[in-house]
Amino acid sequence: MSLHISREHAEMLDKKDPIACKRDEFFIEEGTIYLDGNSLGPAPKSVFDSIDVTMREEWAKGLIRSHNTAGWFMLTDTLGDKIARLLGAGQGEIVVCDTTSLNIYKTLHAALSMQPNRKRIVAEATSFPTNLYMAEGVASTCRDVSIALEGSDGDAIEDLIDEDTAIVMLNHVDYRSGVIRDVKAITELAHSMGAMVMVDLCHSAGVIPVDLRDLNVDFAVGCTYKYLNGGPGSPAYAYAAKRHHGKFTQPLSGWHGHAAPFKFEQSYRQGEGARALLCGTQHTLSMRALQSGLAIFDDVSVSELYEKGKALSDFFVSLVDGFADELGVGFYSPKDVNLRNGQVSLTHETGGYAIVQALIERGVIGDFRQPNVMRFGFAPLYLRYVDIWDAANHLHDVLKSKEWTHERFNVVATVT
Ligand SMILES: *Cc1c(COP(=O)(O)O)cnc(C)c1O
């Protein structure tokens, strides 16, 4: 036997899983083990009918009236309020709109607009690249604004926060390693220095408990196509703490962020609350798809999901640990499950990309991140312990047989 824990053990864990039935709410093809829900969640079964009704009834028959009668126009707010319940935010503090990249741009500007005498954005050099690119975009359009990065301008973010810092941009969870950051402690420090905090929740929303009120951050952003299962290209969300409502401005002053969009006034008057972060018309079909993704969270708590996600990833770590040294696999993520979200990233000196491709051919879908990280996400809503066992077993076999060295696994695709 290749693994030191039996498959029967995994079957037994599945029998005891209190939220095992949630898997039935997703379309997952026979033979697919989906370990990439941290990049794009799978399709909820309810989404097909929902999109069909939106097309055939609301659009085809309802036409323009559906903005009112089917609630299209307010989906930015109604879905924002649903996400708020998952993230410990209040009603009216979150809007669903645009992309995470754009929401980063708007919230960084919003924070700068509230503190005109502070000129620095502090962030992590290991941040998801778009976050840094957008910060560069903000700096390039704001006089004297500069960026200081943890990991290149200083070793610890705490040392970079000073009286010139306007906003600290944090990733709640690191996208490569899955490591959870102590956002609350950094926010306390930032506030004591008079600076604000914006946190990116892309890799935590829906898998680890987030309480925005308790974290006390000023702004937050996140995407919905990962663990929230909103579908390809589904819109992102933006959070502005209530205490800041009416006090910030942002430069993408489109008509949906206007105080009275349908008065068609000649100049911009910023709307109330988080709606001031809106810009223009949103993708209604994508918002409908997101609605199906969010409905799945109605009868399950994020803390239950977190517990199962930890158990799944812990199980994977113990299985891989059994052959890691022998077959040249390293742990990029910390082994301690309390330090990371439901994700395990592994390394291999030469084979990272090709190993992931060989696994995909076997139906085990993970992904690869530069320079040598094989990422496996363990989304607790639809994964079973037997999936984890099978995935580890495939990984073992791909390595042991050196299957990954085959030429066809070594051709790099556009999207990894
Ligand atoms: C996935 C992800 C994004 C994606 O940004 P888009 O604008 O939706 O493409 C941004 N930041 C982080 C941390 C992410 O994980």
Catalytic residue among 237, 314, 375, 409: 375
Q: Which residues are registered as beta bridge partners of 34?
A: 365
Check for a shared fold between 7-45+301-410 and 73-298. Answer: no
**Most informative mutation of 36, 100, 237 for ligand 1 (most atoms within 8 A of CB):** 100
Q: What is the mean pLDDT of the chain?
A: 97
Pocket probe for ligand 1: among 97, 179, 202, 208, the residue whose CB has the most ligand atoms within 8 Å is 202
Distance CA 45, CA 358 (A): 28
Q: End-to-end CA distance of the chain: give it in Å, rounded.
A: 32
CA of 129 to the centre of ligand 1 (A): 8
pLDDT digits (tens, 9 = 90+) for 199-217: 999 999 999 999 999 999 9
Domain 7-45+301-410, second-level architecture? Alpha-Beta Complex (3.90)
pTM of the shown model: 0.97
Where are the chain's structural domains? 7-45+301-410, 73-298
Question: Which CATH fold would you assign to the domain 73-298?
Answer: Aspartate Aminotransferase; domain 2 (3.40.640)
Clarify whether 226 is annotated catalytic. yes
* 175 in Cβ contact with 369 (< 8 Å): yes
Nearest CA to ligand 1 atom 2: 202
382 labelled catalytic: no
Q: Counting atoms of ligand 1 from 1, which one is nearest the CA of 127?
A: 13
pLDDT, tens digit (0-9, with 9 covering 90-100), for 364-410 = 999 999 889 999 999 999 999 999 999 999 999 999 999 999 999 99
**46-53 helix and 284-295 helix, angle to the nearest 10 degrees:** 150
pLDDT tens digits, 236-293: 999 999 999 999 999 999 999 999 999 999 999 999 999 999 999 999 999 999 999 9
Pick the more confident residue, 1 or 55: 55
**Whether the predicted pLDDT of 1 surpasses 70:** no
pLDDT digits over 319-373, tens only? 999 999 999 999 999 999 999 988 999 999 999 999 999 999 999 999 999 889 9
The atom of ligand 1 lying closest to the CA of 203 is: 15
